[in-house]
Amino acid sequence: MITPRRVLFVPLAMSIGALIGACGSTTSLAAVAKTTTTAASASPTLVASPLSPTGSTSTTLPSTTTTSPSVVPTQVSQTYSKSGSSPSFSVNISYPVISGMTSSSAQNGINSQIYGAVASWANSFMQNVAMAASSGSGPNGVSNLTGSYKVTLLDARLASFQFVLNTAAAAASAPNTSIQALTFSLASGTVLSLSDLFGTNNSFLTTLSNQARAQLTTQLAAQGVPSAQIQSAPGLNPLLSNFAAFNITSNSLILGFSQGQVISSAIGDLTVNIPLVDLKSIIDPTGPLANP
């Protein structure tokens, strides 16, 4: 009996810091790339970046408008789409484009960083597809990467976006879901880290770890997951890498966990929502959460 070979696809759950600016990389896929842009003020959808070995395209970001600092910026959804053959793949990711900010440089910086992250997620996926094909072990079929996003906060000071990426690889036995997140200071146009919110003393990670374990223990009890399994899960240990996919709302902190990070992949991705009032003791008094 011949045992079929299995191909391991590298998860798309990467740190944002490693992704920003990575969109300049290329892929060896013999692809026919196509980029389409869709503007909509309704629910956003993830977008793929134009990364084609046979040609390149570019997306022109919306022109900057100047508004009063007290005016909340707006965002529209654009879609990054790519497809190719030999091997066959498709990418469709939605992402937000911000407009209406007072500072054009900050606005352009934010939009560039969002686009760069999306392009990097697409590149990672396409490189995995190419590696599977070059090994000769990839089965026939189309590998797909789709993504969507939601706005968790957009006001005059902060913007926070949560992305959900779904990978259905031809060589994989089941689809995979990962959660990514980007939170920006609109004043500086920079990506915020947990240290910006809670200070450089990483003791806050213990609080986040405890809160996440408590909530997930309750969430997963109905699915028969033993409490001890959640309490001992390495994916919830107090490490910055375990809580990289965070978002903020007007009154809470959202922590996202990609499929397989905490518990069996069969459970899927997970999120917890921690009220900011419960984090008052660890919030940096000089940070954005303490200065609305």
pLDDT value of residue 244: 97
Q: Is the pTM of this model over 0.85?
A: no
pLDDT value of residue 62: 44
pLDDT value of residue 85: 86
Report the C-alpha gap between 161 and 179 in whole angstroms: 11
pLDDT tens for 199-244 read 998 999 999 999 999 999 999 999 899 999 999 999 999 999 999 9
What per-residue string of b and e applies to 32-46 under the rule 16 or more CB within 10 Å gives b? ebebeeeeeeeebbb
Straight-line distance from the first to the last Cα atom of the chain, in angstroms, rounded to the nearest whole number: 65
DSSP for 52-110, written as a single string: -TT-----PPPPP----TTSPPEEEEEEEEEEETTTTEEEEEEEEEEE--S-HHHHHHH
pLDDT tens for 4-43 read 444 444 445 444 444 444 444 433 343 333 344 444 333 4
CB distance 130 to 112 below 8 Å = no
Backbone angles phi, psi at 149, to 5 degrees: -145, 165
Q: Quick one: average pLDDT of 117-125? A: 96
Check whether the bond before 87 is cis (ω within 30° of 0). yes
pLDDT value of residue 228: 95
Report the C-alpha gap between 236 and 214 in whole angstroms: 11
Whether the pLDDT of residue 283 is over 80: the answer is yes
Q: Quick one: average pLDDT of 106-130? A: 95
Nearest to 210 by CA among 258, 243, 169: 243
User: What beta strand segments (E) does the chain contain?
Assistant: 74-84, 89-99, 143-154, 158-168, 176-185, 190-191, 246-248, 252-257, 270-275
CB distance 80 to 49 below 8 Å = yes
pLDDT value of residue 265: 83
Residue entry with tokens 């902060």 = 158
Average pLDDT value for the chain: 80
Q: Given pLDDT bands bounded at 50, 70 and 90, which one contains residue 137? A: low
Backbone angles phi, psi at 181, to 5 degrees: -150, 145
